[in-house]
Amino acid sequence: MATIKLPPKQAYCPYSKFRVGAALLTLDHRVFTGCNVENACYNLGLCAERNAISKAVSEGYRAFKAIAITSDLSDHFISPCGGCRQFMREFGPNWDVYLSKPDGSYLKMTVDELLPVSFGPEDLSMSKVFNIPNEF
């Protein structure tokens, strides 16, 4: 998957001035893009990765081949935040994540490499040691 070389001009980042873009590739080779969207109430902001994945999910997609992430960082490869890593993990541990720089160079990793020993949907069916009654 070719990485995107520049973060999108559509990114809405008036507070951090840090533009981030993501391009998500589905198994049938459809691409969904996303950008970061900040908010004055900081925790309501949306990362580019979650934006792209949410767009795909809203169109009925649940399995992905890869995601490429780009930013204005020139000294480091852009890496997803912990929340985005968990959000990606929801859709499986074994798909590719391309961490890029504006010059087009990139590192290829998997979701599992970015979030080892992770918690996913399949863990919700694990056996419980204790049955705690509801206090209500």
Q: Is 42 annotated as a binding residue?
A: yes
Amino acid at 34: G
d(CA 121, CA 111): 14
Q: Is 15 annotated as a binding residue?
A: no
Q: Is 41 annotated as a binding residue?
A: yes
The one catalytic residue among 49, 59, 90, 122:
49
Q: Is 12 annotated as a binding residue?
A: no
Q: Is 37 annotated as a binding residue?
A: yes
C-alpha to C-alpha distances, 95 to 37, 70, 75, 122, nearest whole angstrom: 25, 17, 25, 16
d(CA 68, CA 106): 9
Q: Is 2 annotated as a binding residue?
A: no
> In this structure, are residues 6 and 70 in contact, taking their beta carbons and an 8 Å threshold?
yes
Residue 122 annotated as catalytic: no
Annotated binding residues: 36-42, 47, 81, 84
Annotated binding residues for substrate: 36-42
Catalytic residues, by residue number, are: 49
Annotated binding residues for Zn(2+): 47, 81, 84
